[in-house]
Amino acid sequence: MSALNSNISLNDIVSLLSAKGERQKKLHKSADTITLNSFKGKVWLRGIIEYSNICFKNCYYCGIRKDNNKLKRYRLNGNETVEKAVYAWKSGLGSVLLQSGEERSNLFIESVNNIIKEIKKRTNGELAIVLSMGEQSTKTYKKWFNSGAHRYLLRIESSNKELYEKLHPNDNLHNFNNRLKAVESLKKVGFITGTGIMTGLPGQSKEDIAKDILFIKEREILMSGNGPYIVHKETPLFNSYTNIPDANERVNLTLNMIALLRILMPNINIAATTALDALDKKGRLKALKAGANVIMPNITPTKQKKSYSIYSNKPGINNSLSDNIKNVEEIVKESGKIIAYNEWGDPLQ
């Protein structure tokens, strides 16, 4: 494994994505050594607040897509959202991630803007705000950036245009090139920008994932969140569920992808994503030992949490917020790392 360095070839990446047993252990160990060297054993916490499950898009894989009418829709009110962020700050979380379905109405844009400003005010500017609210105009990105949010996550889902188009309706709202442009626009506005993909999608090859990894490197992306695709019954992709790798393999693909990203990009932020735990109780723990340096306790109010059902079997939906934080603290402890409380947790540049 000593041959692994940032010049690793596409073929090697494809091959290592399938690593199992001893070979996988070595891959993860190499990544962990690099992570320890970069982050000195520190792990950053981000509290996730799932602000709204209202979405005007219809991605074929997602449980909160517009056409799923079996779902109770909600949008948190501003005060409640700010209170949860203040709670995160008081709990020493250092940053919050506001995530939601996609809307582009003025009401939505202004509500988010007011929340950003209020959080910054109430936490004396000490809490970092990360957004994941889909594709917006450059004007909206600028507005939110100027109000104090400074990191943004927008997954490209797949860097393969053909595959992307199979996973989304063929219309202007779900346009591959617009998605890529949005990532570039975020960077230009000044956001520390993150992207990522789902692993184990129907029709996705290992070569696709290898190219996703290289895409993230070539575009100089500073944060990456990747997770296994998880079937949701109320989606068009449900019918393809027999054509995907089994749960174990999807977890391994994600873990190996994390390790490869770390080897190629020693200083970026890589999240141990919650979807991993939906398929493997030790999923996030394994990710922290394979290159991830960020973990995200869910601090959405318990009442709404179950309605943010992007995928099935989401872990921790009935837990209290403090339980979710405790749970994450235990995972970090078990990984042998240390939580960096009260730090923003920007990637090392």
By CB under 6 A, name the one of 99, 111, 158, 256 that touches ligand SAH.
Answer: 99
- Nearest-angstrom CA–CA distance, 232 and 24: 29
Rounded to an integer, what distance in angstroms lies between the CA atom of residue 320 and that of residue 145?
31
Residue by residue, DSSP assigns 118-179 as HHHHHTTT-SEEEEE-----HHHHHHHHHHT--EEE---B-S-HHHHHHSS-SSGGG-HHHH
Q: Is 167 in the site for ligand SF4 (CB under 6 A)?
A: no
Instruction: Dig out the tokens for 141 from the structure.
Output: 């990105």
- Check residue 151 for interaction with ligand SAH (CB under 6 A): no
The interface partner of residue 155, options being ligand SF4, ligand SAH, none and the CB cut-off 5 to 8 Å by kind, is ligand SAH
Of 318, 253, 329, 296, the closest CA to residue 97 belongs to 296
Interface with ligand SAH (CB under 6 A), residue from 101, 200, 202, 347: 101
Question: Segment contacting ligand SF4 (CB under 6 A): 34-42, 62-70, 158-166, 186-194?
Answer: 62-70
Kindly state the smallest distance separating residue 157's Cβ from ligand SAH, in Å: 5
Helix-helix angle 206-218:247-264, to 10 degrees: 30
Angstrom distance (rounded) from CA 67 to CA 81: 26
Question: With CB under 6 A, what is the number of residues at the site for ligand SAH?
Answer: 18
Q: Which among 8-16, 96-104, 139-147, 337-345 is the span making contact with ligand SAH, rule CB under 6 A?
A: 96-104
Rounded to the nearest whole angstrom, what is the least distance from the CB of residue 307 to ligand SAH in the complex? 14
Interaction of residue 283 with ligand SAH, rule CB under 6 A: no
Residues 106-165 touching ligand SF4, rule: CB under 6 A, are: 134
Please state the length of the chain: 349
Nearer Cβ to ligand SF4 (62/270) = 62
The residue (of 196 and 339) whose beta carbon lies closer to ligand SAH is 196
Is 102 a binding residue for ligand SF4 by CB under 6 A? The answer is yes
Report if residue 347 touches ligand SAH, rule: CB under 6 A. Answer: no
Position 154 contacts ligand SAH (CB under 6 A): yes
The item of ligand SF4, ligand SAH, none sharing an interface with residue 65, based on CB under 5 to 8 Å by kind, is ligand SF4
Q: What does the buried/exposed string (b/e) look like for 290-328 if buried means 16 or more CB atoms within 10 Å of the residue's CB?
A: bbbbbbbbbbbebebbebbbbbeebbbbebebeebbebb
* Residue 75 near residue 52 (C-beta atoms within 8 A): yes
* Residue 229 within binding range of ligand SAH, rule CB under 6 A: yes
**Interface with ligand SAH, residue 149, by CB under 6 A:** no
Secondary structure element (H or E) that encloses residue 294, with its range: strand 294-295
Per CB under 6 A, which of residues 187..206 are in contact with ligand SAH?
198
Helix, strand, coil tally for the chain in percent (to 5): 45, 15, 40
Name the residue with tokens 């540049």.
349
Contact residues for ligand SAH (CB under 6 A)?
61-62, 99, 101-102, 132, 134, 154-155, 157, 198, 227, 229-230, 232, 275, 310-311
Contact residues for ligand SF4 (CB under 6 A)?
55, 57, 59, 62, 64-65, 101-102, 134, 310
